[in-house]
Amino acid sequence: MVDSATSQDASASSWSAALLRRLQDFAALVKFSHTIFLFPFALSAVILAHGVRPLTLGVMFWVVVALVSARSAAMVMNRIADRDYDAQNPRTKDRPLITGQVSALQAWLWLVAACAIFVLAAWRLGDICLKLSPVALIWVLGYSFTKRFTALCHVWLGLATALAPLGAWLAVAGQFSWGAVVLALACAAWVAGFDVIYACQDIAFDQEQGLKSLPARLGLSRALWVSRGLHAVAMLGFFLVGLIFGLGRVYFGGVGLIAAILLVEQWLVARRLANVPMAFFTLNGLVSILYLAFLALDRWWGTPGV
């Protein structure tokens, strides 16, 4: 009896360890830490939409499920589509699909599962979300192939990310709003701007492989000017969001702080390309968190007026 119980405990422990490893592999494959760029803006849209229609815990739950599953599907598709290129690039050769940590079959199964979960979440969020779910999936999955035919792949990625706040708004409010569209476009410009910076690391590789990106096409200096222009558009969009929704001094103070951070980001990258990892992840992660924090503070405790 004791031996049987011990054997069962060992089996359960082994199964749990295997499941944990699989989850860790999946998190590494989809770069789960990069969700920090997506969630705060989606939650910002939820807060703004709450003023149109009350938010329920059920809707909030399915919004989170939709965000996680859509982003996971997009990342897995990207890893599958780029695996031959990633194997040749010194910067990406240690990714799980290249090292064998995750098999191609596992990646495809995760992709199908993530897409199915996203459609389920869209169904639970209402008719408009369900009807638009195929369009959203086609757009976010299609990004993985854009570097093969257009240097505007960064804009495509930005618009794919912009679907998060726009979709979150639709899930809560149940209708389109120009304010939500402006927030989504501002988010798109911000993401496209820092993706141009990120692509500066691979200029030589992209040119050698015939892949299209703005840095590969324009060169480092001109690509960084495009990035600055995109970030200027993003800041204009964030300012307009404040005007459209009647936000106050706390929000606009936060927008000013974000503008300063983006200026520092651009300065760091222009000074030294080795600063790209910090500029890409640390500073942009800070931007998204601060945007949510200042918007939430203003919505609940701020006073109106610029």
Rounded distance between C-alpha atoms, residue 157 and residue 195, angstroms: 8
The mean pLDDT of the chain is 89
- pLDDT tens-place string over residues 17-41: 666 676 676 676 777 666 778 899 9
Is the predicted pLDDT of residue 303 greater than 70, yes or no? Answer: no
The third-level CATH classification (topology) of the domain covering 35-301 is Tetracycline Repressor; domain 2 (1.10.357)
Global confidence as pTM: 0.88
How would residue 306 be classed by pLDDT, with cut points 50, 70 and 90?
very low
% residues pLDDT > 90 (the chain): 68
How would residue 193 be classed by pLDDT, with cut points 50, 70 and 90?
very high
- pLDDT tens-place string over residues 212-254: 999 999 999 999 999 999 999 999 999 999 999 999 999 999 9
279 vs 36, 76, 199, 266, 284, CA distance in Å?
14, 24, 12, 8, 7
Rounded distance between C-alpha atoms, residue 237 and residue 234, angstroms: 5
Say what the pLDDT of residue 161 is.
94
Rounded distance between C-alpha atoms, residue 22 and residue 102, angstroms: 9
Say what the pLDDT of residue 16 is.
65
When pLDDT is averaged across residues 96-125 and rounded to a whole number, the result is 92
